[in-house]
């Protein structure tokens, strides 16, 4: 056998000019602005995600939903029996190539068994999990069965009458609808949440009866206030909707806002148990139980035990109470502190003519009305053309009735089959379509009775054509058709509200304080900012306090573990902490470095500490310029758990000392030129403003400042009575002969 000659690809011949161009351009990097690169590469992806995946269109469906439901419709599952979910998933792959698991997860959420939708689109059999539980997983598709729910007849009723456009599927082997010709505003019937690129959508569900009523009213009056018909969102899980007129109107007008949903519960007196049976749509049974357990561990004493009793009868969370607990008071507390009351944040971002728009309820219903008017027009036009075609055929048949024998004779005497239709056209003055119809009539039907029975529809067809023509020319009549359809949908599928609307007054915030052990301790603070909390037992067994090199102890006080601590800094800030948040220390340890523990700003240092149990009393700030500011400690008390307050004291003059004082402390101030005064703190009026500059207490000579301030005992003040002043401000006598003031410090 002869070997085949090996063929080689012939080299492409280039001209010298072309070769030079290739060589000169090889390896060239073309620079372009990053904005151009993003626009060319990222923007198409972003738009694809938004338009083709994440957001619903005016028919209420994302592409994944629409492809699945249309596949089920073509499988005959609207009127037939259920089939295995795996079969449905496989058939949907012809339209949706994103994988069987993604398709099945989409299907699960649309089912009656999952309970995620107010009006499910799929009638299911088997375990499809529950929307209100993260722990109840759905069964595999080979175990479950499904068919379309009866309400889907309102989605596909007109789809075969050219009401919507059809486009090729991804491999161009079949057609699928761009939209579904829904006969009611399904876009607002069921919740729909999607996340696109740089934008998101969250549509809450509304009651079908209320939607239809509002839509009918809008068709009749475009200025109608939809809040007169729509009471608020209606969630499939029920619960209570806390009415907020302002926020609801914001959702109706702008499409953005939040509504609060509260769980429903009942109290079993015999078992002393609260049974929660309906929860907000934004949470799960597991999240609620976990939060209540966390609160119980953190100090909530009313709850004895909590368990999940969800079964085939539905959701149930059982909360056992301790003896004497008021169930209603406890639930008020749990509403504030757990997901038993939660908010649904609405963001009505939908696709209108291929572009994302955030619309309110009113505008969405108006857009749906425009869409539905177009569908009805196309349906009427389709039916009109069919009737015109039928009338045209019957008109030709009517002419045959005048002489049936002639028609038979023409057919019998025509030699060629291809000439039958032309001869009938000539013999009865009819066109080709009519002649083709007559030629196809069976011989047995070429009798007077058959033809009379057929042509008696001509009169009715003419009336119908006239009526349809009038409808196409009158938008008012089209709107009346839509109104009639909406009434039928409401009567057939409407249900009472699941989510009750309640009116609740604003309630004060409820706090659960963790039980803090109370025991005596001594608190220490060093100049460098090291803090220690040491118990009396530890102090008795300890030796000398350990300090960093060149550091000294500047503050020492006996208090309790429940004390509140205020750490003032050199940047006029105060950081709040609790003694209980610091571990018990020892004299042999350096302690906690406060700037690091409380996360001070860079370069910020502690200049003083105040300890309080109830924020009673005042604090005296002494400044270099001789002024002193008396501020009530209550000025630093906050309702919220704030960790830092700015403007804790005035920064107009450098701070010398921070002195916590009671009703009437004796204070001694000394200046750099050797003078001193003693005054009672009651001589200064308190100012609630934290950063007040204070009042002049010590009169200073030129180039002198206040260098120190101390609280001294009443006995010491009596001993140093010559320094006492009865009026402020005062310069004070020289104090060179008195002892070191440090020994008077309390």
Active site positions, annotated: 143
Q: Which of 646, 636, 645, 670 is nearest to 656 (CA)?
A: 670
- Using DSSP's 3-state secondary structure scheme, residue 707 falls into strand
> Are 274 and 267 within 8 A, CB to CB?
yes
> Are 414 and 509 within 8 A, CB to CB?
no
Tokens of residue 389, six digits: 């075609």
Q: Tell me which H or E stretch contains 701.
A: none
Pairing mode, if any, of strands 676-680 and 644-645? unpaired
Determine the straight-line distance between the first and last CA of the chain, rounded to whole angstroms.
118
CA distances from 417 to 5, 410, 506 (A): 58, 11, 89
DSSP 206-220: --HHHHHHHHHHHHH
Tokens of residue 448, six digits: 């007077």
Residues 6+ apart with CB under 8 A from 308: 285, 286, 289, 316, 317, 318
Tokens of residue 411, six digits: 């057919």
Q: Which of 100, 192, 195, 182 is nearest to 140 (CA)?
A: 100
Q: Which of 741, 722, 724 is nearest to 656 (CA)?
A: 741
Q: CB count, 10 Å around CB of 737? A: 5
d(CA 348, CA 357): 8
DSSP 286-334: HHHHHHHHHHHHTT--SEEEEEE--BTTB--EEEEE-TT--HHHHHHHH
Cα Dmax for the chain: 152
Give 10's DSSP letter: P
> Are 210 and 119 within 8 A, CB to CB?
no
> Are 546 and 524 within 8 A, CB to CB?
no
d(CA 534, CA 317): 45
DSSP 92-147: HTTT--S-HHHHHHHHHHHBTTTT-SSS-SEEEES----TT-SS-PPPPTTT-EEE
Residues 6+ apart with CB under 8 A from 313: none
d(CA 158, CA 143): 33
């Amino acid at each position: 056998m002869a070997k085949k000659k090996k063929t080689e690809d012939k080299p492409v011949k280039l001209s010298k000019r072309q070769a030079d161009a290739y060589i000169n351009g090889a390896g060239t990097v073309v620079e372009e602005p990053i904005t151009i690169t993003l626009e060319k590469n990222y923007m198409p992806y972003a738009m694809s995600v938004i338009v083709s995946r994440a957001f619903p269109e005016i028919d209420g469906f994302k592409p994944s939903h629409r492809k699945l439901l249309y596949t089920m419709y073509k499988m005959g599952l609207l009127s037939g029996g259920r089939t295995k979910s795996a079969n449905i998933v496989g058939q949907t792959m012809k339209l949706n190539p994103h994988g069987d698991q993604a398709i099945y997860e989409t299907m699960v959420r649309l089912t009656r068994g999952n309970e995620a939708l107010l009006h499910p689109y799929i009638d299911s059999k088997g375990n499809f999990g529950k929307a209100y539980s993260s722990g109840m997983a759905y069964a595999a598709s080979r175990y479950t069965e499904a068919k379309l729910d009866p309400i889907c007849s309102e989605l596909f009723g007109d789809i075969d009458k050219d009401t919507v456009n059809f486009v090729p599927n991804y491999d161009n082997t079949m057609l699928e609808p761009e939209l579904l010709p829904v006969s009611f505003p399904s876009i607002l019937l069921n919740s729909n949440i999607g996340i696109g690129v740089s934008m998101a959508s969250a549509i809450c569900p509304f009651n079908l009866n209320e939607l239809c009523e509002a839509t009918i009213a809008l068709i009749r009056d475009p200025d109608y206030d939809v809040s007169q018909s729509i009471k608020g969102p209606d969630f499939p899980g029920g619960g209570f909707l806390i009415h907020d007129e302002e926020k609801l109107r914001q959702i109706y007008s702008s499409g953005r806002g939040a509504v609060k949903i509260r769980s429903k519960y009942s109290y079993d007196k015999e078992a002393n148990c609260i049974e929660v049976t309906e929860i907000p749509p934004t949470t799960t049974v597991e999240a609620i139980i976990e939060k209540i357990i966390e609160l119980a561990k953190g100090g909530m004493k009313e709850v004895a035990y909590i368990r999940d009793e969800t079964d085939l009868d539905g959701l149930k969370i059982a909360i056992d109470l301790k003896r004497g607990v008021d169930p209603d008071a406890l639930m008020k507390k749990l509403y504030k502190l757990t997901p038993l009351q939660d908010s649904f944040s609405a963001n009505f971002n939908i696709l209108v003519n291929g572009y994302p728009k955030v619309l309110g309820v009113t505008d969405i219903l108006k857009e749906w009305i425009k869409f539905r008017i177009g569908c009805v027009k196309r349906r009427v036009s389709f039916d009109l053309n069919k009737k015109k075609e039928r009338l045209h055929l019957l008109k030709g048949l009517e002419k045959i009735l005048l002489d049936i024998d002639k028609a038979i004779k023409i057919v019998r005497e025509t030699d060629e089959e291809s000439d039958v239709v032309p001869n009938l056209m000539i013999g009865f003055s009819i066109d080709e379509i009519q002649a083709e119809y007559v030629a196809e009539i069976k011989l047995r039907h070429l009798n007077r009775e058959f033809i009379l029975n057929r042509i008696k529809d001509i009169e009715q067809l003419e009336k119908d054509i006239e009526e349809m023509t009038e409808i196409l020319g009158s938008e008012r009549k089209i709107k009346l058709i839509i109104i009639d359809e909406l009434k039928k949908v409401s009567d057939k599928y409407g249900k009472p509200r699941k989510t009750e609307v309640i009116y609740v007054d604003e309630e004060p915030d409820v706090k659960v304080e963790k039980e803090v052990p109370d025991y005596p301790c001594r608190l220490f603070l060093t100049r460098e900012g090291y803090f220690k909390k040491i118990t009396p037992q530890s102090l008795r067994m300890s030796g000398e306090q350990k300090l960093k090199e060149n550091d000294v102890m500047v503050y020492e006080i006996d208090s309790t573990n429940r004390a509140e601590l205020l750490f003032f800094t050199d940047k006029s800030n105060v950081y709040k902490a609790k003694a209980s948040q610091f571990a018990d220390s020892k004299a042999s340890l350096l302690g906690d470095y406060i700037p690091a523990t409380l996360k001070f700003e860079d370069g910020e240092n502690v200049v003083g500490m105040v300890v309080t149990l109830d924020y009673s009393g005042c604090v005296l700030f002494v400044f270099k310029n001789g002024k002193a500011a008396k501020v009530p400690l209550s000025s630093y008390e906050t309702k919220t758990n704030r960790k830092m307050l700015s403007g804790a004291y005035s920064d107009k003059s450098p701070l010398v000392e921070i002195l916590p004082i009671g009703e009437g402390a004796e204070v001694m101030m000394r200046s750099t030129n050797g003078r001193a005064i003693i005054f009672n703190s009651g001589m200064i009026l308190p100012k609630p403003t934290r950063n007040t500059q204070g009042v002049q207490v010590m009169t200073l000579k030129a180039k002198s400042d206040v260098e120190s301030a101390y609280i001294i005992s009443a006995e010491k003040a009596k001993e140093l009575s010559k320094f006492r002043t009865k009026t402020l401000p005062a310069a004070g006598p020289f104090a060179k002969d008195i002892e070191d003031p440090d020994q008077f410090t309390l």
